[in-house]
Structure 1
Amino acid sequence: MEIKLRSNIKCPECSFEKEELMPTNACQFFYKCTKCHKILKAKKGDCCVFCSYGTVKCPPIQKDIISCK
């Protein structure tokens, strides 16, 4: 399976969506919206902001290295 490295992350506050490059060796817990500047945090049970607000799960989840649960 090919690992996808880009995900569109959508701010729940202002609905702004931006394509971002995801880290391949770690989970990103925080993300600052480039439009409204709200700091997004991973939802409870998710390992990172991409798993919570992105269109693609993070690379560690795609590789089955870690679990969000």
Structure 2
Amino acid sequence: MILQSVITCPKCGTAKMETMPIDACQYFYECTGCGAKLRPMDGDCCVFCSFGSVPCPPKQTERAGSCCTK
């Protein structure tokens, strides 16, 4: 499982490596460049799935087919 993701602000382009929470989705993120408060785009569970280079750990687990929440 990958726990690091580069999140890129769609407003100013600032990119920053962040550590994702293992067991939860992150719904809000404040850009360190312009201060924009990012929220997930429609259909995405978190800001990493919308703006990150890697999807969040829960989504990675789901895509791997080993999700335990069936």
TM, length-normalised to structure 1: 0.89
Q: Alignment identity in percent?
A: 52
- Tell me the distance in 2 between the aligned counterparts of 1:54 and 1:35: 15
1:16 aligns with 2:21: no
- For residues 9-36 of structure 1, give each alpha carbon's deviation from its aligned partner in whole angstroms, at most 9, with x where no partner exists: 0000000000000000100011000110
- Tell me the distance in 2 between the aligned counterparts of 1:27 and 1:33: 17
Q: Which of 43, 55, 58 is 1:57 aligned to?
A: 55
Size of the aligned set, in residue pairs, is: 64
Q: Alignment partner of 1:52: what SS?
A: helix
Amino acid of the residue matched to residue 28 of structure 2?
A: F
TM, length-normalised to structure 2: 0.88
Q: Which runs of 5+ in 2 are unaligned?
A: none
Normalized per residue, the structure richer in helix is 2
User: What's the offset of the Cα at 1:56?
Assistant: 0.1
- CA radius of gyration, larger in: 2
Q: Alignment partner of 2:49: what SS?
A: helix
Dislocated runs of 4+, deviation >3 Å: none
Q: Which of 23, 43, 60 is 1:45 aligned to?
A: 43
Q: Which runs of 5+ in 1 are unaligned?
A: none
- Tell me the distance in 1 between the aligned counterparts of 2:59 and 2:39: 17
- Tell me the distance in 2 between the aligned counterparts of 1:22 and 1:8: 10
